[in-house]
Homo-oligomer: A and B are copies of this chain.
């Protein structure tokens, strides 16, 4: 996994080579092929390892503070010089490569479901409408970062994190994140 991460940082997802990963890790090519089959296998495990490790979940008892903390975690993740190109490279690959798309889908499904725990707590406390879809609140929180990084190529900063959190709270409180 460390070798995979080093290769992704250096050359991006499209150029990820099983041979180079084996070489850097100092193991036989056949070992890498047997355990991970192909670059998407490496990627899926890396994303899986990553799913909880890099963005700790706050639990302050306030949905405003919890979502703000989560938003700052996303912001910091994407200002990290290694993770930003890895994740954006994977997202770019996902447009043309269905297996990269599937890995992203599975990663974000797991990650967003975990993060949604904050929202479930807030619903239980009576701070959000009972018919709130917890994952939809997390999507609303995350979307502005990707929009700026991928679509409009505008910078992200702590103010973006603050606005993303406040907008997600406002939408959830207004009932626009309700289950369908």
| A interface list, Cβ under 8 A from B | 12, 88-89, 91-96, 101-102, 104-105, 108-109, 112, 136, 139-140, 142-144, 146-148, 150-154, 159, 163, 166-167, 169-171, 173-174, 176-177, 180
* A interface, over-half SS: helix
Let me know if B142 and A147 touch, CB within 8 A: yes
- When distances are taken between beta carbons in the complex, the residues of chain B under 8 Å from A177 are 163, 167
Q: Pick the contact of A112 from B150, B152, B153, B166 — CB < 8 Å? A: B152
Which of A101, A147, A151 is the most central at the interface, judged by chain B CB atoms within 10 Å of its CB? A151
With both beta carbons as reference points, the residue of chain B lying nearest to A170 in the complex is identified as B174
Assuming the contacts A167-B171, A170-B176, A176-B167, asked whether A146 and B140 have C-beta atoms less than 8 A apart, the reply is no
Let me know if B108 and A152 touch, CB within 8 A: yes
Chain B nearest Cβ from A172, distance in angstroms? 9
Assuming the contacts A170-B170, A176-B170, asked whether A109 and B152 have C-beta atoms less than 8 A apart, the reply is yes
Assuming the contacts A143-B143, A147-B139, asked whether A105 and B167 have C-beta atoms less than 8 A apart, the reply is no
Let me know if B104 and A96 touch, CB within 8 A: no
Q: Pick the contact of A153 from B101, B139, B173 — CB < 8 Å? A: B101
Let me know if B92 and A95 touch, CB within 8 A: yes
Let me know if B150 and A140 touch, CB within 8 A: no
Let me know if B151 and A108 touch, CB within 8 A: yes
